[in-house]
Structure 1
Amino acid sequence: MAKFLTTTGNSYHIEDIIINAKKSLTLVTPFLKLSKNLIERISDADKKDIHITLIYGKSELDSEQHKILFSLKNIDIYYFYNLHAKCYHNENSMIITSMNLYEFSEKNNREMGILIHKDTDYEIFNDSLIEIESIINNSELKLKLFNENKSNDNSKEIDYEEFEELRYKKVFKNLKDLFDDYKITYNDFIEIKNFPIPGINLEVKHRINVIIENYDAYYKIMSELKGNFNNLLGRYYWNRNEINIYPEREFFHEYNLKGLDISVEKDLSIIKSVYNILQENHHILK
């Protein structure tokens, strides 16, 4: 049953929704000036591999918070130009409220809201999800915030460090969608264990590495499948228990958002080809 919330209740249950998210977390708020506590809670959710969707309507994020939010691995950030709605939900609970995720609102304003649950308020919960999806479909996906003097220009140059950070983030997100049966982690680099079979791991760094734990298995793969790999576009170097993979020498991309998409597409193409070869020929390791 729906529950009415006062100012204090709003703050408490927003934090509770973030803390108790298991798979997904959506935050719809016009303002992005977040309190230190909420930044920490959102970062905790990201570390638990919870998919976070953040929709905002005004650029009110300072540089430090910008750096934190855009470094998260499991977040989609959208901009909707005339957003005024405030709604926060995980997979089970939702708050529709007057409260922004805005430090000033939490401390000084008089707020009210409604708390609903999927199992007891299904119709309202589902109608709200449909409306949020409509907002997302009409929003602009942001890789980073731009101030009034900048534009979202795909040809704008990105420095190497930022480019690589965005590359890892996009590859990680795509791999989780493509290979959702596998445990995929991202710390200093992306790693997929037992890919596609036990004893073979894949790493994404500045290059792609296939790590074969057992030398006999490595030798069989090299002996019988080296030709399959070398027929693919790219450069494949066979070292003891590893295949180190780079794009072909002629491969080129610029360091901008357009080049980022090209680089990510190349990484994914290599990984999918490696997966297919190993999956189709795993019998040689038996």
Structure 2
Amino acid sequence: MAEFLNKKKLLEWIPKIIETAEKELIIISPYIQVSEKIFSLLKDAEKRGVEITLIYKEGELSDKERNKFNEIENLNLLYHSNLHSKCLYNEKYLMITSMNLYEYSQRHNREMGILFRRTDESTNWDDYRNSRDDDSVFQDAIEEIQSIINSAEFEKESFETKTIGFEMSIIKSNKDLAIEKCNLLNKFSKNKKFTAFQDGEDWLCRCDDFVDGVDLILEGHRISLKLNFEENRIEEIFNNLNTTKYYKNEDYRIVDCFRMFWTYHKSSPTLYSYSSHNLWDYDFDSKEFLQGYFNGLNEFFKLLKLEIQKTKK
């Protein structure tokens, strides 16, 4: 649930967002003069392995502040000629505010802001309003933050940027993530090519004609299949593969690393993870997972293609 922040709450949440950053932290503030407390928290974040990106307005950073930030090795420092936006953003929270990261503002000015949550997890901050906000808010914010970063100029590169290049996961849109996933799948799918597509507000991966007449759509670990045949033919295939008959109180069929559900011929066959299979212990982007994943798909399609062949007229 989005939460309005007055000045008192802003002063509570600025350090919280720095402290709750796990891997990445973005701070956008035209004017910057950090307190010793905030500087100490940024140093602590660096020790935890957090990559920090800080963007200020060109010409508005003192040498004293610049020297402070030079002490933080894993900090990207950028400047923007027309910057007036102010926000703090990590994996869990986005705060948009009128307050600069400037001691004078924090002591003397009337300020306000709003906090958005990207997680349902409870925190150690007695955060009772812990339901996530609409993802569309974050997608719009990511687009604007990415635009600001694109049009800014580097002054100082973090250690990670120097060694592997500048890349931050928290500013990747759902479209970016879907494209990345498709590219990863395509490395292991041989001739079967996945593309990203938008379904409502979601971005998913699909492979048309994974086998002739059958499209495959990935929705997280769930796989939906679309059979592009006449209804009577689909019903005939369904009659041989359906999972409406219970076996030991289970209404699914195990095929390698998947559980297959298909309970109505006008719906689509759906594959879910079979959690007892050791494949699901691996990370999705690992070679072991992707090889096993496509092996499991091949085993399932052996069954499906056999039934498709039987219904040819």
The structure-2 alpha-carbon separation of the partners of 1:30 and 1:177, relative to structure 1 and needing over 3 Å to count, comes to: closer
CA deviations on 1:187-242 (whole Å, 9 max, x unpaired) are: xxxxxxxxxxxxxxxxxxxxxxxxxxxxxxxxxxxxxxxxxxxxxxxxxxxxxxxx
Q: CA deviation at 1:126?
A: 2.1
Contact 1:33/1:60 (CA < 8 Å) preserved in 2? no
Q: CA deviation at 1:61?
A: 3.6
Aligned pair partner of 1:175 in 163, 175, 190:
163
Match of 1:73 in 2: 73
Greater Rg, structure 1 or structure 2? 2
* Count of residue correspondences: 153
Match of 1:228 in 2: none
Q: Which amino acid aligns with 2:144?
A: E
Contact 1:21/1:90 (CA < 8 Å) preserved in 2? yes
Q: CA deviation at 1:108?
A: 0.7
Q: Please list every run of at least 4 consecutive aligned residues from structure 1 whose deviation after the TM superposition is greater than 6 angstroms.
A: none
Contact 1:32/1:58 (CA < 8 Å) preserved in 2? no
Contact 1:17/1:89 (CA < 8 Å) preserved in 2? yes
* Matching of residues 265-280 of structure 1 within 5 Å: none
* Matching of residues 1-286 of structure 1 within 5 Å: 1-119=1-119, 120-121=132-133, 122-143=135-156, 173-175=161-163
Tell me how large the CA RMSD over aligned residues is. 2.0
Distance of 2:51 and 2:22 partners within structure 1: 9
SS in 1 for 2:14: helix
Unaligned runs of 5+ in 1: 144-165, 179-286
Contact 1:52/1:74 (CA < 8 Å) preserved in 2? yes
Q: CA deviation at 1:96?
A: 0.5
The structure-2 alpha-carbon separation of the partners of 1:105 and 1:58, relative to structure 1 and needing over 3 Å to count, comes to: farther
**Matched-pair identity in %:** 37
Distance of 2:138 and 2:114 partners within structure 1: 11
Q: CA deviation at 1:109?
A: 0.6
Unaligned runs of 5+ in 2: 120-131, 167-313
Distance of 1:58 and 1:101 partners within structure 2: 15
Distance of 2:38 and 2:103 partners within structure 1: 9
Distance of 2:58 and 2:150 partners within structure 1: 18
SS in 1 for 2:31: coil
Q: Which structure has more RCO (C-alpha within 8 Å, separation ≥ 6)? A: 1
Distance of 1:175 and 1:81 partners within structure 2: 27
Q: CA deviation at 1:48?
A: 1.6
Distance of 1:58 and 1:39 partners within structure 2: 21
The structure-2 alpha-carbon separation of the partners of 1:142 and 1:175, relative to structure 1 and needing over 3 Å to count, comes to: closer
Contact 2:30/2:60 (CA < 8 Å) preserved in 1? no
Contact 1:54/1:78 (CA < 8 Å) preserved in 2? yes
The structure-2 alpha-carbon separation of the partners of 1:124 and 1:101, relative to structure 1 and needing over 3 Å to count, comes to: same
Distance of 1:108 and 1:31 partners within structure 2: 15
SS in 2 for 1:22: coil
Match of 2:254 in 1: none
Distance of 2:69 and 2:145 partners within structure 1: 21
User: What TM-score do you get using the length of structure 2 for normalisation?
Assistant: 0.46
Q: CA deviation at 1:58?
A: 4.3
Contact 2:57/2:81 (CA < 8 Å) preserved in 1? yes
